[in-house]
Amino acid sequence: MSNKLSTHPSEKSKLKKQSQQSLFLRLSFFLPLILGFFFYRYINSGAFLPLSCQLFNLRCPVAKDTVRGFVDPRFKEVKEIFEKNIENGEEVGAAVTVYYQDKIIVDLTGGIADIETGRIYDKDTLQLVFSSTKVLTAIVIARLVEKGILDYSEKIATYWPEFAQGNKENVTLHDLLTHTAGVGWIDTKQLTMNDLKDFNHFDEILARQPHNFDGNPIRSYHALTRGFYLNAIVRRVDPKNRTIGQIVAEEILPTYNIDFHYKTTKEIYPRVASIYTYPLPRILGKLLLPKWMISNPLHTLFNYMFDSSTVTFKTLVATSPDQSQPKDWNSFEMLQYEGPSYSGVTNSRSMAKLAAIMANEGQPLPDSKEPPLFKKSTFDLLTKNDKTEYDIAIHESISMLYGGLGNFSLDGLDWQYWGWGGSGGSMLLWNPEHKVAVGYCMNAFHTALLGDHRSLNLMKSVSNTIKKLKAIEE
């Protein structure tokens, strides 16, 4: 007879079941913690890092492999921040140029212009900057005002009688430039790219559009439509019947030696950087998670972007030709049609040069043989303070200058900046008091309204360094 203890098969089965239950309990406890940890890393790491880098810190980019350009040694911290933006996955490719007291102190490019081909983001790269285009458009309008061709206070119907229909008869050029014209969205039809091909056909659509607020002057961002309507006006009053983009190409680009194109041709298309949109899972995560768990939370307007009944949706989504998304603008077809509110393809150096001339009150930079953009009196009218009003499309109060530029107080910066920014993060801004001018563009599409932590950290470094330099001088 054996002395070994034997276990009954039913006991073995019971022990096995208990072991499995114990393992399941341990997994049910630890697995959510593990998944939560990786999800937290994913949401708060750089949006454009490879997934291996986001989760495991592997195969992360090295910015110094691609960053090129010039930095005044006193502003070397700006370059360090620029490199970190790339290494941390906040950028794919980007460029920043800064003027101070009429001189370039920062001029950097870096990262990747096109991930599929590995093309480097360099000084020859061009970037779609969306609403930063509005700055140059406002400059063109101011030049026409100076010539007496346009008047800010004149009713648009004076230049374009068909515009008066639908309670728009009292809308002025100034109203349109400052986003109170009541044509922030088009709802008589869904716009298509084909509509943009024929100016006469498109003008009929624009003229038929009723006032969005029954004739009441309510501030509601004209994201796309400001440029559509301005183009229709300018073509009617310009002696050569040119579009705004044609005026830019003939009068601004060659005179001031800048790259800023309202239509992308086949010749320049290979230079244009691809746009990379903010990952949808991260947007959803930031919408669902409490703000204290998230670095760089979404702007309030994203709460309205998915509801077709809201002014925000009608303005930013429904009015976009074919309801196009940012990534759709990588195609040549989308870029070949002029939209003076959004279609500018340029680089940071050209943006900053325009900003520097504006910081110099429209006068040419020293040692330049270029003519003024306009007279001092025109500059003063363009930049006269206008109303600060709550904008019901972007859910934020906006301070406007009379000729259609913004007057901004940016987070963490105690200086006012004039100009405008573009969807995704580009900025064309200047501070008139300290004569600081900034051009910033990028192909990683973030979700802030005007600038974000990438550009704001660069600008903070510039302003802090200037303050230190002035303190030493005193």
Among 454, 270, 422, 463, residue whose Cα is nearest residue 339: 422
Determine the pLDDT at residue 53.
76
In sign, the C-alpha dihedral spanning 200, 201, 207, 211 is: negative
Residue-wise pLDDT tens digits, 414-457: 899 999 999 999 999 999 999 999 999 999 998 877 888 899 99
Got the DSSP string for 47-95?
TTS-HHHHHH--S---GGGT-EEEE-GGGHHHHHHHHHHHHTTS-SEEE
In sign, the C-alpha dihedral spanning 251, 146, 263, 126 is: positive
- Say which DSSP state 187 is in: -
103 or 10, which is more confident? 103
Determine the pLDDT at residue 330.
93
Taking the C-alpha atoms of residue 453 and residue 441, their distance in angstroms, rounded to an integer, is 14
Average pLDDT over residues 37-53: 67
Residue-wise pLDDT tens digits, 217-254: 999 999 999 999 999 999 999 999 999 999 999 999 99
Determine the pLDDT at residue 1.
44
- Domain limits of the chain? 16-56, 63-137+251-473
The model's confidence at residue 55, banded by pLDDT at 50, 70 and 90, is low
Residue-wise pLDDT tens digits, 9-22: 666 666 556 566 66
Determine the pLDDT at residue 396.
92
Query: Is residue 65 within 8 Å of 31, Cβ to Cβ?
Result: no
Q: At what angle do helices 9-44 and 280-288 cross, to 10 degrees?
A: 100
Is 50 exceeded by the pLDDT of residue 372?
yes
In sign, the C-alpha dihedral spanning 395, 396, 399, 403 is: negative
Is 90 exceeded by the pLDDT of residue 298?
no
Give the side-chain half-sphere CA count within 13 A for 109.
16
Got the DSSP string for 216-282?
-------TTHHHHHHHHHHHHHSTT---HHHHIIIIIHHHHT--EESS--TTTGGGBPPPEEPPHHH
Give whole-number Cα distances, 27 to 132, 142, 344, 385, 416, in Å: 51, 67, 53, 62, 54
Is 50 exceeded by the pLDDT of residue 2?
no
Among 101, 97, 124, residue whose Cα is nearest residue 113: 124
Give whole-number Cα distances, 58 to 54, 89, 175, in Å: 8, 13, 53
The model's confidence at residue 94, banded by pLDDT at 50, 70 and 90, is very high
Strand partners, 343: 130
Taking the C-alpha atoms of residue 278 and residue 448, their distance in angstroms, rounded to an integer, is 11
Measure the CA angle with vertex 139, ends 134 and 142; round to 5°.
125
The model's confidence at residue 473, banded by pLDDT at 50, 70 and 90, is confident
Average pLDDT over residues 326-339: 91
Is 60 exceeded by the pLDDT of residue 370?
yes
Residue-wise pLDDT tens digits, 168-211: 999 999 999 999 999 999 999 999 999 999 999 999 999 999 99
The model's confidence at residue 283, banded by pLDDT at 50, 70 and 90, is confident
Residue-wise pLDDT tens digits, 104-156: 999 999 999 999 999 999 999 999 999 999 999 999 999 999 999 999 999 99
- CB neighbour list of residue 94: distance below 8 Å, 6 or more residues apart: 82, 85, 86, 109, 110, 111, 121, 440, 441, 442, 443, 444, 454
Determine the pLDDT at residue 240.
98
Residue appearing with tokens 């993060």? 425
Neighbours of 58 (CB within 10 A): 10
Give the type of residue at 251: E
Is 90 exceeded by the pLDDT of residue 47?
no
Among 72, 73, 69, residue whose Cα is nearest residue 83: 69
In sign, the C-alpha dihedral spanning 410, 306, 279, 276 is: negative
Question: To which H or E segment does residue 198 belong?
Answer: none
Give whole-number Cα distances, 100 to 136, 275, 366, in Å: 20, 30, 12
Q: What is Dmax (Cα atoms) for the chain?
A: 119
Percent above pLDDT 70 for the chain: 86
Is 90 exceeded by the pLDDT of residue 357?
yes
285 or 345, which is more confident? 345
Q: Which two tokens stand for residue 201?
A: 């056909």
Taking the C-alpha atoms of residue 136 and residue 432, their distance in angstroms, rounded to an integer, is 17
Radius of gyration of the chain (CA): 26
The model's confidence at residue 412, banded by pLDDT at 50, 70 and 90, is confident
Determine the pLDDT at residue 302.
78
Helical segments of 346-390, H only: 348-359, 376-382
Sort 439 into a burial class: Cβ within 10 Å, 0-12 / 13-18 / 19+. buried
- List phi, psi (to 5°) of 61: -70, 155
Percent above pLDDT 90 for the chain: 73
Determine the pLDDT at residue 50.
76
Residues in the chain: 474
**Prediction pTM value:** 0.89
Among 261, 243, 233, 222, residue whose Cα is nearest residue 129: 261
Is 80 exceeded by the pLDDT of residue 40?
no
Determine the pLDDT at residue 371.
98
Note the CATH number of domain 63-137+251-473. 3.40.710.10
102 or 278, which is more confident? 102
Is 80 exceeded by the pLDDT of residue 308?
yes
Mean pLDDT score across all residues of the chain: 90
Question: To which H or E segment does residue 398 belong?
Answer: strand 396-401
